Amino acid sequence: MSSHKFIVAPPRIEDREVVKPLLCGPGPCDYWPSVEKALSKPVLSPICEELFKVLEDIRVGLQYAFQTRSKLVMATSGSGHSGMEAIISNLVGPGETLLIASRGIWDQRALMIATRYGIKTKVVSIPMDTTFSLAQLEPELKRIRPAGLFITHGDSSTGTLQNLEGLGDLCHKYGTLLLVDTVVSLGGVPFFMDEWGVDGVYTSTQKVFSGPAGISPVAFSARAEQKLNSRKHNPPFYLDAKQLALQWSCDGVTRTYHHTLSSPLLWALRACLQELVRETLPVSWARHAASTAHFHKRLREYSFEFLIPKPEDRLATVTTVKLPKGYDYRGFVKYMRENHKILIFAGLGPTVDKALRIGIMGVNSTTKVADAVADAMADTLRALKKSSL
């Protein structure tokens, strides 16, 4: 028996029940039933043949999801921010410049991350309820000739979708790598990594993929690979794409231990990708477009006002809605949760006190869910008007 004195007694940690709401915020989303099952599959040791087969399944699934033939496709252990940090810290070195196309909160996060790595930053901003044209970005690329341009494809803080066609070519003309956040867009709206010339991209599992957070798919183009091989700086060890590529066996040969990968998260990501490849990308994109179009129609019938003025700028996975004057956004979200068991979110970053954020995506991208959310929102509007305005 140890003679040490315990200075902390065992605390009481009781069972805790949670009433699960329907998850219709901008993420996390509910799980596919197959993902729930996958989470309890056997634990895989860091270096066993079964693990490498699972990694290979994930890698081919991700090549399909990102639409890339690149072999440098893997996942970082961590939520979407780990993908963001990996892409930035691997592809832009200290003293080099990252140009940040800013219209929401994720570009602000990119700025904070880049600054911590000693990367120089330049920001080009537009109003948060709009998206960039190539003409707005070209003069900055030409003037600054940055090592990388960071841009968010689907912005969950504002509900906008950035058109990326032509941006890769434009970046490459000025020697710039194109770095893209697809956390809330991949699988829900068209994305073509190779065709659009994207060099570094990351996504997340708790959005359209309808899985648990904690593992972040990332992919690097051939141009990005050249940069990885010629760079003078060392990114953080845990996120070093060259090290991770050895563990993920991107060359199909290596079998290396870098860190212990989470078996439940690997199985879950694999199940998310099985769902996606079974449905196929075009069918998933069409399903998201149709259920969101239906949701928007229902919102218009209830006279809700959209935050994003131009329909072509609106993101199919996350909708932002303004409330009439006098309503409290947090109170609205609370009422929805308590009375309808539906979780939607208030604004974030530039949309705080300016919008509700509603996610109709992944397993929840159906007209049935869209109807339930629109009806609950209309009821909440009436109820709060009666009680507090």
**Phi, psi for 72 (deg, rounded to 5):** -85, 70
Q: Binding to ligand PMP by residue 233, rule CB under 6 A?
A: no
Q: Does 183 bind ligand PMP (CB under 6 A)?
A: yes
Q: Report, in Å, the least distance between residue 2 CB and ligand PMP.
A: 40
Q: Does 187 contact ligand PMP by CB under 6 A?
A: no
Question: Going edge to edge, which strands form the sheet with 305-306?
Answer: 305-306, 318-322, 356-359, 345-346
Residue 228 Cβ vs ligand PMP, minimum distance, rounded to whole Å = 22
> Can you tell me which of 39, 123, 126, 213 binds ligand PMP, judged by CB under 6 A?
213
Phi, psi of 90 (to 5 degrees): -80, -35
User: For ligand PMP, which stretch binds (CB under 6 A), given 46-54, 151-159, 192-200, 358-366?
Assistant: 151-159
Number of residues in contact with ligand PMP, rule: CB under 6 A? 14
Alpha-helical segments (H) within 153-248: 167-173, 222-230, 241-247
Binding part of the chain for ligand PMP, among 111-119, 177-185, 293-301, 319-327 by CB under 6 A, reads 177-185
Smallest distance from the beta carbon of 264 to ligand PMP, in angstroms? Answer: 17
Q: Which of 102, 131, 204, 249 binds ligand PMP (CB under 6 A)?
A: 204
- Using CB under 6 A as the binding rule, whether residue 162 contacts ligand PMP is answered as no
Residues from 61 through 80 that contact ligand PMP (CB under 6 A)? 79-80
| Known binding residues | 357
3-class DSSP assignment, residue 121 = strand
Residue 81: CB minimum distance to ligand PMP, A: 4
Which residue has 């190779």 as its token pair? 194
- What's the sign of the alpha-carbon dihedral 154, 172, 65, 113? negative
Is residue 289 classed exposed, middle or buried when 0-12, 13-18 and 19+ CB atoms within 10 A define those classes? Answer: middle
Nearer to ligand PMP, 140 or 155 (CB): 155
Give min distance, CB of 254 to ligand PMP, in A.
28
Residue list 97-136, contact with ligand PMP (CB under 6 A):
106
Smallest CA-to-CA distance from 382 within 347, 332, 337 is with 332
CA–CA separation, 349 vs 10, rounded Å? Answer: 40
Binding flag, residue 184, ligand PMP (CB under 6 A): yes
Question: Of 68, 70, 90, 156, which lies in the binding site for ligand PMP, with binding defined by CB under 6 A?
Answer: 156
- Residue 79 or 319: the one with the smaller Cβ distance to ligand PMP is 79
- Paired residues of 50 in beta bridges: none
Write down the least CB distance from residue 218 to ligand PMP, Å. 12
Q: Least Å distance between CB 147 and ligand PMP?
A: 21
In whole angstroms, what is the distance from residue 354 CA to residue 347 CA?
6
Select the residue interacting with ligand PMP from 41, 81, 120, 242 (CB under 6 A).
81
Please choose, from the candidates 298, 369, 357, the residue with its C-alpha nearest in 3D space to the C-alpha of residue 332. Answer: 357
Counting contacts by CB under 6 A, is residue 320 touching ligand PMP?
Answer: no
Q: Between residues 22 and 184, which has the closer beta carbon with respect to ligand PMP?
A: 184
Residue of 24, 27, 51, 167 interacting with ligand PMP (CB under 6 A): 27
231 burial (CB, 10 Å; 0-12 / 13-18 / 19+) is: middle
Chain position whose Cβ is nearest to ligand PMP: 80
Q: Is 181 in the site for ligand PMP (CB under 6 A)?
A: yes
> Under the phi-then-psi rule, with left for phi > 0, alpha for psi from -120 to 50, and beta for the rest, what region is 338?
alpha
Binding-site residues for substrate, in ranges, read: 357
Measured CA angle at 375 (ends 370, 378), to 5 deg? 125
Give the binding range for ligand PMP (CB under 6 A) out of 49-57, 86-94, 124-132, 176-184: 176-184
Contacts of 93 (CB under 8 A, 6+ apart): 117, 119, 147, 231, 232, 233
**DSSP string of 254-276, one letter each residue:** ----SS---HHHHHHHHHHHHHH
Q: Name the minimum Å distance from CB 29 to ligand PMP.
A: 11
Could you list the residues that contact ligand PMP (CB under 6 A)? Answer: 26-27, 79-81, 106, 152, 155-156, 181, 183-184, 204, 213
